[in-house]
Amino acid sequence: MTDRNSSPRDGAGTAPVLELDDVHVRYGGSHILQGVSFEVPATGVTALLGRNGVGKTTTLKAVIGLAPRSGRILLQGSEIQTTSTAKIVRGGIGYVPEDREVFGGLTVDENLRLVAPDQGVEAPVVGRLFPDLVARRGQRAGTLSGGQQQMVSLARVLLRDNALLLIDEPTKGLAPKLVTEVADVLAEVARTTPVLLVEQNLPLVRRIADRVVVLDAGRVVHRGAAADLVADADLTRELLGVSMRREGVA
């Protein structure tokens, strides 16, 4: 495994917010995570990368308790590998799954009031980061564009106080302009809350991630500074099978 945790942006010196130690996930006879170990520092964006099907989403699900896991997982030093998802969420992990999961029949405001009944779109964080959602407060979430639904998902999680955010491919399927908008929001969010981000868009990773963890076949194969990985065309091709010119962030 390559391990290049030497950047001044790597959060070294502070206690990690999340630690995975030899985490395994098995579905029936399939051994999906095969001893995953890494730390998420308490600041900035840690990007979890890897080719399709290597176990990135499964890693987030193992942390939040939605996949059958073994091994040790520590949130702010406390073991959570046997804790229920509801307790983990109450304990401070916000999870934005890949499939967005908005309530399509409810308005934008009603979706947010499920989490913050007294505030909805009036919550300061919504006005600050998602002015478009305030303007669309009465629109049914099912009629929003993919990017707008992504914003509802993100806003809903941000209505709570989180020690850590797990965000799974927030830009998947979005047009480049919306990718840029989501990237802006994530960069702003990460100023106050550490983020573990699954993302395939390397220009976005270069722009907002501080460090990367790369998985292959259920194992960590590389850790290091995001800038170092994306600057190394041979390494990105070797680890991810992509070149930096594939897609852009305006």
- Give the footprint of ligand ATP on this chain (CB under 6 A): 27, 30, 32, 50, 52-58
Q: Which of 43, 171 has the CB closer to ligand ATP?
A: 171
Cα–Cα distance between 69 and 140 in angstroms, integer? Answer: 37
Q: Which of 30, 78 has the CB closer to ligand ATP?
A: 30
Could you tell me which residues are beta bridge partners of residue 219? 216
Shortest spacing between CB 38 and ligand ATP, in angstroms: 15
Task: Count the helices and strands in the chain (H runs, E runs).
Answer: 10, 11
Shortest spacing between CB 72 and ligand ATP, in angstroms: 20
Cα–Cα distance between 132 and 117 in angstroms, integer? Answer: 20
Could you tell me which residues are beta bridge partners of residue 223? 3, 213
Shortest spacing between CB 2 and ligand ATP, in angstroms: 19
Shortest spacing between CB 33 and ligand ATP, in angstroms: 8
86: left (phi over 0), alpha (psi -120 to 50) or beta: alpha
What dihedral do alpha carbons 207, 182, 52, 232 form, nearest 10°?
-10
Q: Which of 52, 78 has the CB closer to ligand ATP?
A: 52
Q: Which of 33, 183 has the CB closer to ligand ATP?
A: 33
